[in-house]
Copies of this chain bind each other. A is one copy, B any other.
Amino acid sequence: MSLKKKQKHICNFSFLIFVLMAVSSFSQIDPQPEAKRKVKEMEKKFSLAIHGGAGTILKKNMTPEKEKEYLLKLGEALDAGYAILNSGGTSMDAVVASVKILEDSPLFNAGKGSVFTNEGTNEMDASVMDGKTLGAGAVSGVKTIKNPVEAARLVLDKSPHVFLSGKGAEDFAKQNGLKIENPEYFFDSVRYFQWKKLLLEEENNEKGGGFLSPSEIEFNVCHEQKFGTVGAVALDKSGNLAAATSTGGMMNKRFGRVGDSPIIGAGTYANNNTCAVSCTGHGEFFIRLSVAHDVSALMEYKGWDIEKAGNELIFQKLTSLGGTGGLIAVDSKGNITMPFNTEGMYRGFIKEDGRATVKIYKE
């Protein structure tokens, strides 16, 4: 090869490298920001917290098997919400998915396994709230809707109203294709036994042969195994907050009693400026204190962080009034708080790292 040819060859080779580099650099214009966007998307914060009710939950009354069952179901509910949030889904989809898992389990007092009313029926309440739009949906006193939380979501999405009740709410759900079950579906033998035992205590007492005073029975109804409302709160990757709550209400309830679970501002609240909250406990106190909205108001108007605001409601206001229960809340930065003034609260949370934490008793 002559020198001239060699030079030409080198020249061609240099040109080829130049072209290759240029092509490579051009081709990187598109993929690099896309990859960065994906990484950024994956790094985006999100949070999910759930509860399965607060009450006198004591380790001594729990078998290791039962405890495991609860923890596994809470974990399953977290997984369902996590999958949605991790893939960029909305906080509303996530809280509804988590609550559905808990409604479908007879372990909790919501959906299947709801407690019995004084008339021997199961009457359920639920609500949801979207922190971005302040849109809300709620149902109360429904007896045949498999997942009351889906009915609440339907009211938010497809009704000009916020709160539908009783047979009307059921008709609305049916017309919109929600899954309906026979009343037997909601039956759970453990709940039935609890209710029958309570009726027996009351009857025995009325005849003067009881060991419990009416106030002790009331205490049992309110403070022991009769709670078990479920709920979820979440922050999604887009920075939107949502909350959902669902319950079978208070055991042996009469006169169409409605608790705090379907009451926006009492049992459920969400506002992108502050937080999303779901409550559980002795509902009457949560209504009188507008607990869920008050957590948000303390954050918005006093600049308190979510932990301080949640603690104020549960350990100061609720406790002073003689009420028991707890709440879960997540703020717009993904911080979570889960205060309760009872012996225990079925609860759990998960964040973008995917590590689920589930707990039952006080720490």
By a beta-carbon cutoff of 8 Å, the part of chain A in contact with chain B is 129, 134-136, 140-141, 159-169, 171-172, 218, 253-259, 263-266, 269, 283-284, 287-290, 293-294, 297-298, 301-302, 321
Contacts and interface: CB of A to CB of B under 8 A. Distances in A.
Given A165-B258, A297-B297, 18 more contacts: A134-B289, A135-B288, A136-B288, A140-B165, A161-B255, A161-B284, A162-B287, A164-B258, A165-B165, A167-B256, A168-B254, A171-B255, A172-B254, A264-B290, A293-B294, A293-B297, A294-B297, A301-B301
Q: What is the total number of copies of this protein in its complex? A: 2
B284 A265 contact: no
Contacts of A302: 301-302
Contacts of A288: 129, 134-136, 162, 264
Nearest to A262: B258
Nearest to A119: B168
Contacts of A263: 163, 263-265
A-B pairs, top 9 by smallest CB distance, nearest first, are A168-B256, A168-B255, A265-B290, A301-B301, A297-B297, A165-B256, A290-B293, A163-B258, A172-B255
Contacts of A284: 160-162
6 contacts: A134-B288, A136-B288, A163-B263, A169-B255, A169-B256, A265-B293
A198 to B, nearest CB: 15
A164 B256 contact: yes
Given A256-B167, A257-B168, A264 B293 contact: no
Contacts of A172: 254-255
A161 B257 contact: yes
A162 B267 CA distance: 14
A68 B269 CA distance: 43
Contact of A255 (B159, B254, B298): B159
Contact of A265 (B165, B168, B169, B287): B287
A266 to B, nearest CB: 6
A290 B287 contact: no
A165 B259 CA distance: 11
A218 B136 contact: no
Contacts of A283: 162
A169 B258 CA distance: 10
A141 B166 contact: yes
Contacts of A253: 161
B256 A160 contact: no
Contacts of A297: 293-294, 297-298, 301
A32 B104 CA distance: 73
A308 to B, nearest CB: 13
Nearest to A254: B168
A168 B163 CA distance: 18
Contacts of A257: 161, 163-165, 168
A119 B121 CA distance: 26
A298 B293 CA distance: 12
A103 B257 CA distance: 24
A155 to B, nearest CB: 9
Contacts of A135: 288
Contacts of A255: 159, 161, 164, 168-169, 171-172
A161 B141 CA distance: 15
Contacts of A134: 288-289, 321
Contacts of A294: 293, 297
A257 B138 CA distance: 10
